[in-house]
Amino acid sequence: MKVTCAKLEVIVRNCRREDLPRVYEINLKAFSQPHQMVEFSWFYEMEPSGTYIAVDKNRNKIIGFVFGVYRPVFFYLEKADIKDGWIPLIAVDPEYQKRGIGTLLMQTIEEYLRSKGAKEVKVEVRENNTGALEYYNKIGFEIHKKIPNYYFDGENGIVMKKNLQKKIDIQMKLKPRYTSCIKCGSFNIRYKVPFLLDLNCECEDCGCVWPVVFEEKIK
């Protein structure tokens, strides 16, 4: 049976300070052990250019976030062996999960970290968070190490790592709606993440640039 899903237009842009309360709210919905508000403020102030949110354009609603850091300086990260790219916070609103948004956020942060010169990216995951472990595995991460009692409540941590030097193609669930240039009709379109702006299409023939509009693939 063929089912056409409702259209979902998503844009990814940098997080702003005023977005933090909604980002925190998603964190409360998405995690069984949510992060503290202060963590969002820390990482935001540390590297605002490495924080991104996904927005449902039609409902003007923030539906996911990723906070990334290039060259983190915290001493405790030695335990996780983190050297350059690090993702301390990522989640998608449960109402919007499994529709490719997590993949889109990850592609954006990887592109950002790569642009800063990061050679790899690491994340820590709770050992019982099998959904997230599966997600990281699907998008090209590998287990780097296990750290006993990593979390304050005694749970073990799994450090996952991805090499940013070899680009791994990820099958996107969301497909860009435009297949040809909206101005000259050419099929030479590249997708770009210009930081501080939305994800863009750029026509290689006439040079015009416009925001990507995504729609869900028909299942």
**What residues make contact with ligand COA under the rule CB under 6 A?**
30-31, 90-92, 97-103, 123, 125, 129, 131-132, 134-135, 138-139
Binding partner selected for residue 65 from Zn ion, ligand COA, none, CB under the kind-specific 5 to 8 Å limit = none
Of 143-182, binders to Zn ion (CB under 5 A) are: 181
Could you give the CA distance from residue 84 to residue 109 in angstroms, rounded to a whole number?
Answer: 13
Could you give the CA distance from residue 49 to residue 14 in angstroms, rounded to a whole number?
Answer: 7
Where residue 68 falls (left for φ over 0; alpha for ψ -120 to 50; beta otherwise) is beta
- Report DSSP state, residue 138: H
- Cα dihedral 43→47→50→54 (10° resolution): 50
Binding partner selected for residue 138 from ligand COA, Zn ion, none, CB under the kind-specific 5 to 8 Å limit = ligand COA
Q: In angstroms, what is the minimal distance from the CB of 212 to Zn ion?
A: 15
Q: In angstroms, what is the minimal distance from the CB of 207 to ligand COA?
A: 31
Tokens linked to 43: 């990482």
Binding partner selected for residue 203 from ligand COA, Zn ion, none, CB under the kind-specific 5 to 8 Å limit = Zn ion
Binding partner selected for residue 98 from Zn ion, ligand COA, none, CB under the kind-specific 5 to 8 Å limit = ligand COA
